[in-house]
Structure 1
Amino acid sequence: MIRKLIGLLALFAAQPVLADGGAVSAADPRAAEAGQEILRQGGSAADAAMAMMLALTVVEPQSSGIGGGGFILYHDAKTGRIGTIDGREKAPASAKPELFLGADGKPLPFIQAFPGGKSVGVPGNIRLMERVHARWGKLAWGKLFQPAIKLAEDGYTVSGPTAALLRTVAPLWKDFPAARAIYWDGDRPKAEGSTVKNPALAATLRRIAKGGARAFYAGQTGRAITATVAGSTRSPTQLTAADLAAYKVVDRAAVCRPYRQYKVCGMGPPSSGATTVLQMLGMIERFDMKALGPDSPVGWHLIAEAMGLGYADREKYLGDPGFVKVPVAGLLDPAYVKSRSALISEKTSLAKYEAGTPPGAEARTAALSSEVAGTTHFVAVDGSGNVASMTSTVEGPFGSQLIAEGFVLNNELTDFTFAPVKDGAPVANAVAAGKRPLSSMSPTIVYGPDGKVVLAVGSAGGKRIIMHVMKALVGVLDWGLPAKNALGLPNIYFGGDAILVEQGTKLSAMSNELAALGRTVVSTDLGSKLNAVERTSKGWVGAADPRSKGEALSE
């Protein structure tokens, strides 16, 4: 009898999370629980998303939080419209184009650039939350903070991923005593299963819950941010009260494009997510991806070829539209996308993947940014059909390694391209005061033929975010997979002249067939943290990447 009961429980646990009222999915179960709690109190998807953002500040400090920024897409069921808010961090007024150049005029090694004050951008998440709550929130502002405050005050258990990243950054922390004070036991990083209490963060959250966004950007917290950046042992710099006071989020138009019978929408610049994902989808649209299926080396080859071309355009043309002209319409122009697709063959690989010349593009030089793997994503849908898809970040593991009032300060400025000029031409993503660095964050919402949302998805992973989202979209829209199975599909990326495929997967087993199409193929670790919600005939289904600690919960 007991064995039968255990078997039934295991069966139920393996099922997708169905919800008539709503669902949430986040990269940490405690954050998903916070979102679920808010939905059950009558909150909107916007309220649930913001509660998850705050909870992740506490339990996943290596990835995101109030010391960083993010992008959110929101489908408003009442109006049927989609809105996007850009809460990306900004460079302070002290930032100069040569910020990340050494005394010799050459770009600094990344390991020298990111720890300390020099890499910290003005955080955007609390201003983003303020705008989201004013526009789409239902519950009182202060209620959204309660789950995170409880976690910070009462304590939480360190997860495996957090413990692993604590070990990774440990050699840096001789210069960061505030971080050690929270996340170390004695002379070593906290281990998986140990407890973290963060009373300073709980107090910060209480102040913001009571005083609104101004309590973050001014007063005790604002002073702590400026003092922490200026007083850093590593790379102290100026991020002033004026920088904090001047920060504003930006309402941007969603970037949408049809793909087969669907409409796929994402975040515009300074995110490169929508332009690159939509461009790649457009390049493979002429191929019968459904017939090829997920077990076809040719299907993955086509995705890889589109990837090479899409990323080439990304590196050359994308940046902050407040500072550079970004040819969004040109990059997604049907004739241009068709010309790029014409370069792709089912039988062989291109010798080079070079940027094209989309309509309206200015002369630029392709240059790599230093975006590294990190970040988090979370999604929420409520009983009224409102849908939130948000990607949030402090950039690399534990951001700049600096702690202010209990929270991690980002290292987003290292997402800029370090050299402002290359080959005599300006770089689109060069450092400038007040500028937002280029991002790969790709929160996405998909509409079906009936005009209703069918999928919301996004991922962590630095520049790989775009490819994680791409494969998930192909999995659902072309291969007809349930969202959870699509998130679990193998990951693919590139490294130098090689195609990187996720080791230990069916895709890795196809390496010889992929190599026969003309590329070097390397099997390697390509972990991911995708989260999604999907509308089915039985209700909303929440899904989390099987590689992660993530969880989906229903209302």
Structure 2
Amino acid sequence: MIRYLLALFAFILPLPALAQGAVTSADPRASQAGQEILRAGGSAADAALAMMLALTVVEPQSSGIGGGGFILHHDAKARKLQTIDGRETAPAAATPQRFLGPDGKPMPYRQAVLSGRSVGVPGNVRLMAMAHRKWGKLAWPRLFEPAIRLADGGFQVTAPLAARSAQLAPAWGDFPAIRAIYAPDGKPVAEGSTLRNPALAALLRRIAAEGPDAFYNGPNAQALVAAVNASRGAPGDMTAADFAAYRAKERPPVCGRYRMWRICGMGPPSSGATTVLGILGMLERFDLKALGPNNAQSWHLIAEAMQLAYADREKYLGDADFVAVPVRGLVDRGYLQRRSRLISPLRALGAYPAGNPPGAPARRPAVQTEPAGTTHFIAVDAAGNVATVTSTVESAFGSNVVANGLVLNNELTDFTHAPEVGGLPVANRVQGGKRPLSSMSPTIVYDASGKPVFTVGAAGGKTIIMQVAKALIAHLDWGMPAQQAIGEGLIYFSRDGLILEQGTAREALKPELERLGHRVRVDSLGLKANAAELTAAGWRGAADPRSVGTALIP
């Protein structure tokens, strides 16, 4: 009777806000894996790790344990935020000339990317192990069950996976292992067809049974190293010792204030938090709420702050274990206020040089390329713990090198290929054991009481930073719910001027932005974001309408 009354009471009265969890990812099968783990009593971290494994199977063109990632975790009981860096590392043999040809110039993009030379030691399995030790509740093997079922039993191919397979299949003449899985008999897998990956299922079983060392030592590590070093075009120079030496690292989060909120993200080798906070810090003096989302001046101001913040990114960011990165200076409120004074509401600057934040070393800016890959996923459990993760293999199918059914990353091409500019070393140059600069920007927003209320992350190369900044502005300044905030059209830039996202309300801004002095074009941007927000009914997830992703509750 007591149990009946309690159940009736819970039905009649709304549950407290933190009693409802949520999951969201860029693929419905991954979201279902996270939901399954939460329903089984798992923590937010458990659910996020299960989603990472499921995405390894169903979204191999974007992410997986053959790559790396970053996780932000909020512990509701301890009221503590921690971050783990699982970014890939360069082999010990790597030198600053890694991607230069015999003439001293950067080698052709295709040759650099589709090669073993582009592969970094994958970090996601060590990231998973550290996260599970810290915040996991379920047994390690349980997290692998959804992904193993998908790899063994098969899954329906999505439109994005089919499209990427069709795009890359012509290049797979020199990559028989990936062709055998994603273009059997020479025909790229079709949307809606069933795909199985028994070799990947076997690998996942080994790691589930034996732990992370089964990935980084022994037969699997040997197979991955052999595939990397035997690849055609530009073979790698990785060793079993490189694999065995890999360690995920806990890093201090980078936080700053924006109006009444505290916004936290990932520090170097991510450039996400410093650049997002740079954009927001320069915009804080403007009343974006009053201007609104349909006003060209709002987007003019955002565009100016964006280009100034990215200029600082290109000059100062890199792996802080190897180069001095002025993190505090880049997010210093006084510095950002001075940078903001460069912005005129009436006219585009036209030129956007890097600034001189406190503690900045002498350095030259160098542009780093970063293809539009990656994925983001989020889990919140009933206790209010939040795990928000961005993971990547970099380009479509990474390096296109496959071993044991696993797609390996091409993350090392995220290093700046020119090791020095104007006689000064580039912060993001290649070095053995170093982690390449990343735009991945998992972010958590805290309210004035210190409670997490919003989390967001994205995929899409260097647009990731701007997607996150845009979603924060849309949610915090314009009051948009999470789903609308991440779906809002983007403004970005190239060396030729601003880019307005095709097929969105941003297109209509072109004439007015041109009157303000901007060069403007309209183009598609290949965006994909996921978010979650705290509502009166509990946490609610959001998946980008541009993607096939879903958001679920336990």
State the alpha-carbon separation in 2 of the partners of residues 173 and 20 from structure 1.
Answer: 49
* Contact 1:63-1:394 within 8 A present in 2 as well: yes
State the alpha-carbon separation in 2 of the partners of residues 85 and 19 from structure 1.
Answer: 24
**CA 1:362–1:19 in structure 2 vs 1: closer, same or farther (change >3 Å)?**
closer
For the residue of structure 1 that corresponds to 2:457, the secondary structure is strand
State the alpha-carbon separation in 2 of the partners of residues 190 and 83 from structure 1.
Answer: 40
* Contact 2:19-2:383 within 8 A present in 1 as well: no
State the alpha-carbon separation in 2 of the partners of residues 19 and 189 from structure 1.
Answer: 45
- Find the counterpart in structure 1 of residue 111 from structure 2: 112
Deviation at 1:414, TM superposition (A): 0.1
Deviation at 1:78, TM superposition (A): 1.3
- Find the counterpart in structure 2 of residue 100 from structure 1: 99
The one-letter code sitting in structure 1 at the alignment partner of 2:320 is P
- Find the counterpart in structure 2 of residue 318 from structure 1: 317
1:36-185 correspondence to structure 2 within 5 Å: 36-185=35-184
State the alpha-carbon separation in 1 of the partners of residues 139 and 291 from structure 2.
Answer: 50
Deviation at 1:19, TM superposition (A): 8.5
- Find the counterpart in structure 2 of residue 251 from structure 1: 250
Task: List per-residue Cα deviations over 1:249-291 (Å, max 9, x = no partner).
Answer: 1111100001111000000000000000001000000000100
* Contact 1:19-1:541 within 8 A present in 2 as well: no
Instruction: Name structure 2 gaps, 5 residues minimum.
Output: 1-16
* Contact 1:22-1:554 within 8 A present in 2 as well: yes
* Contact 2:252-2:267 within 8 A present in 1 as well: yes
Deviation at 1:372, TM superposition (A): 0.8
Task: List per-residue Cα deviations over 1:453-481 (Å, max 9, x = no partner).
Answer: 10011000000000110100001010011
State the alpha-carbon separation in 1 of the partners of residues 304 and 496 from structure 2.
Answer: 12
1:433-512 correspondence to structure 2 within 5 Å: 433-512=432-511
Is 2:407 the partner of 1:408?
yes
State the alpha-carbon separation in 2 of the partners of residues 157 and 184 from structure 1.
Answer: 15
- Find the counterpart in structure 1 of residue 5 from structure 2: none
Deviation at 1:317, TM superposition (A): 0.2
- Find the counterpart in structure 1 of residue 235 from structure 2: 236
Is 2:260 the partner of 1:261?
yes
State the alpha-carbon separation in 1 of the partners of residues 18 and 407 from structure 2.
Answer: 34
* Contact 1:492-1:526 within 8 A present in 2 as well: no
State the alpha-carbon separation in 2 of the partners of residues 57 and 335 from structure 1.
Answer: 43
Deviation at 1:219, TM superposition (A): 1.5
- Find the counterpart in structure 1 of residue 24 from structure 2: 25
State the alpha-carbon separation in 2 of the partners of residues 321 and 545 from structure 1.
Answer: 32
State the alpha-carbon separation in 2 of the partners of residues 108 and 139 from structure 1.
Answer: 47
- Find the counterpart in structure 2 of residue 208 from structure 1: 207
**RMSD of aligned Cα (Å):** 0.9
* Contact 1:208-1:214 within 8 A present in 2 as well: yes
State the alpha-carbon separation in 2 of the partners of residues 507 and 180 from structure 1.
Answer: 39
- Find the counterpart in structure 2 of residue 5 from structure 1: none
- Find the counterpart in structure 2 of residue 545 from structure 1: 544
* Contact 2:99-2:107 within 8 A present in 1 as well: yes
Range with greater deviation from structure 2 (132-141 or 176-185): 176-185
* Contact 2:169-2:183 within 8 A present in 1 as well: no
Task: List per-residue Cα deviations over 1:38-80 (Å, max 9, x = no partner).
Answer: 0000000000000000000000000000100000000001100
Deviation at 1:335, TM superposition (A): 1.2
The one-letter code sitting in structure 2 at the alignment partner of 1:428 is A
1:208-357 correspondence to structure 2 within 5 Å: 208-357=207-356
State the alpha-carbon separation in 2 of the partners of residues 486 and 184 from structure 1.
Answer: 37
State the alpha-carbon separation in 2 of the partners of residues 224 and 369 from structure 1.
Answer: 31
State the alpha-carbon separation in 2 of the partners of residues 184 and 116 from structure 1.
Answer: 19
Instruction: Name structure 1 gaps, 5 residues minimum.
Output: 1-17
Deviation at 1:116, TM superposition (A): 1.5
State the alpha-carbon separation in 2 of the partners of residues 362 and 156 from structure 1.
Answer: 51
State the alpha-carbon separation in 2 of the partners of residues 142 and 508 from structure 1.
Answer: 49
Task: List per-residue Cα deviations over 1:421-467 (Å, max 9, x = no partner).
Answer: 11111100000000000000000000011211100110000000001
State the alpha-carbon separation in 2 of the partners of residues 291 and 527 from structure 1.
Answer: 30
State the alpha-carbon separation in 2 of the partners of residues 492 and 389 from structure 1.
Answer: 24
* Contact 1:26-1:379 within 8 A present in 2 as well: yes
State the alpha-carbon separation in 2 of the partners of residues 308 and 317 from structure 1.
Answer: 15
State the alpha-carbon separation in 1 of the partners of residues 485 and 426 from structure 2.
Answer: 36
Range with greater deviation from structure 2 (503-512 or 146-155): 503-512
For the residue of structure 2 that corresponds to 1:130, the secondary structure is helix
State the alpha-carbon separation in 1 of the partners of residues 359 and 315 from structure 2.
Answer: 13
State the alpha-carbon separation in 2 of the partners of residues 231 and 376 from structure 1.
Answer: 28
State the alpha-carbon separation in 2 of the partners of residues 39 and 219 from structure 1.
Answer: 33
For the residue of structure 1 that corresponds to 2:30, the secondary structure is helix
State the alpha-carbon separation in 2 of the partners of residues 473 and 458 from structure 1.
Answer: 10
Task: List per-residue Cα deviations over 1:99-121 (Å, max 9, x = no partner).
Answer: 00000001112111111110000
* Contact 2:158-2:191 within 8 A present in 1 as well: yes
- Find the counterpart in structure 1 of residue 430 from structure 2: 431
Task: List per-residue Cα deviations over 1:357-382 (Å, max 9, x = no partner).
Answer: 11111111110112111000000100
Range with greater deviation from structure 2 (488-497 or 145-154): 488-497
- Find the counterpart in structure 2 of residue 12 from structure 1: none
State the alpha-carbon separation in 1 of the partners of residues 356 and 503 from structure 2.
Answer: 38
State the alpha-carbon separation in 1 of the partners of residues 287 and 45 from structure 2.
Answer: 37
State the alpha-carbon separation in 2 of the partners of residues 552 and 376 from structure 1.
Answer: 14
Deviation at 1:94, TM superposition (A): 1.4
State the alpha-carbon separation in 1 of the partners of residues 505 and 228 from structure 2.
Answer: 46
Task: List per-residue Cα deviations over 1:338-363 (Å, max 9, x = no partner).
Answer: 11000011111002000011111111
* Contact 1:301-1:514 within 8 A present in 2 as well: yes
State the alpha-carbon separation in 1 of the partners of residues 225 and 41 from structure 2.
Answer: 37
The one-letter code sitting in structure 2 at the alignment partner of 1:390 is V
Structure 2-normalised TM-score?
Answer: 0.96
State the alpha-carbon separation in 2 of the partners of residues 439 and 474 from structure 1.
Answer: 22
Question: Runs in 1 of length 4+ with deviation above 6 angstroms?
Answer: none
The one-letter code sitting in structure 2 at the alignment partner of 1:92 is P
Deviation at 1:233, TM superposition (A): 2.1
For the residue of structure 1 that corresponds to 2:128, the secondary structure is helix
- Find the counterpart in structure 1 of residue 7 from structure 2: none
* Contact 2:229-2:236 within 8 A present in 1 as well: yes
Range with greater deviation from structure 2 (140-149 or 529-538): 529-538
State the alpha-carbon separation in 2 of the partners of residues 542 and 333 from structure 1.
Answer: 32
